[in-house]
Amino acid sequence: MSRFRALWQASLNATKRALAWNVEDIMPPSEKYVFNFNSKEELKRWHLYSDSEYGGLSSASLEITNTDSGAGSQLSGIFSGNLSVDISEGSTWRISRGGFCGMRSKKFDGFIDLDAYDTIALRLRGDGRSYISTIYTENWVNSPGQQEDNSWQAFVFVPKDRWHIAKIPLDQYLPTWRGSVIDVELEMNPSRIMGMSLSVNAEGGIPGAKTGPGDFRLEIDWIKALRTY
């Protein structure tokens, strides 16, 4: 009898493990970390850009340091710098004004599949400016003259001096081409995400947000994908 019970228990445990695996495979967790700024290793996953690449005078930095997270001291990312709308003298680039900085993730090894999720959440503490959250997906045009990833953008207003979780439904990200929204009927493919970025412009953004040249500072705790349904 004891041998029968042992076999029965082993079979039951194996069945439970199989069911648990199948359930998680069919229904992924309700949230998934995409980026977590709790280690200096995270810096290796990002690169900075600004109008200085085209003759502008803006500058940006990204560091991981101890900050007050609201529940004690912990590591978080700080994206900061200075926005200038001026152009350096003698610049050979034909741009009329500067005033932008960004941090973009390096391309993933393959793709991140967020098809099971419907919302991007970012835990941030800012300076009253609005920032731009961008998602890059695999290019829908496979041709030698069109090599850039697809980009989808949404504004994020970050209240000043307090931690805030911004939640952006994926269907609120608009298709863009080099920073401008394009008027086409397209749907994002969240199963083929190549990377993400956060950027800031001196002008434009959400009404009521701080604008203009000058310093900016954005603290970043994490970026997650959520399933809200």
82: domain CATH number is 2.60.120.430
- Give the model confidence (pLDDT) of 96-106 as tens digits: 667 999 999 99
List the single range of 2-11, 27-36, 125-134, 187-196 with lowest mean pLDDT. 2-11
Using the 8-state DSSP alphabet, how is residue 84 labeled?
Answer: -
pLDDT of 29 over the 60 cut: yes
- Give the model confidence (pLDDT) of 170-179 as tens digits: 999 999 877 7
pLDDT of 25 over the 70 cut: no
Q: Does residue 116 lie within any of the structural domains?
A: yes
Domain that holds residue 125: 30-226
Q: Does residue 37 lie within any of the structural domains?
A: yes
Q: Does residue 94 lie within any of the structural domains?
A: yes
- Average the pLDDT over 147-164 and give the result: 89
pTM over 0.85, yes/no: no
Q: According to the model, what pLDDT value does residue 87 have? A: 85
| DSSP per residue, 156-217 | EE--BTS-EEEEEEGGGPEEEETTEE--------TTSEEEEEEEEESS-SSTTSB-SSEEEE
Q: For residues 92 and 100, what is the distance between their CA atoms, to the nearest angstrom?
A: 18
Q: Does residue 100 lie within any of the structural domains?
A: yes
CB 1 within 8 A of CB 7: no
Q: Into how many domains does the chain fold?
A: 1
pLDDT band at 142 (very low <50, low <70, confident <90, very high): very low
Q: According to the model, what pLDDT value does residue 69 have? A: 65
Q: Does residue 41 lie within any of the structural domains?
A: yes
Q: Does residue 155 lie within any of the structural domains?
A: yes
Q: Does residue 189 lie within any of the structural domains?
A: yes
Distance of CA 43 to the CA centre of its chain: 14
pLDDT of 23 over the 50 cut: no
- Which residues have C-beta within 8 Å of that of residue 47, sequence separation ≥ 6? 103, 104, 106
Q: Does residue 51 lie within any of the structural domains?
A: yes
Which of the pair, 229 or 61, is modelled with greater confidence? 61
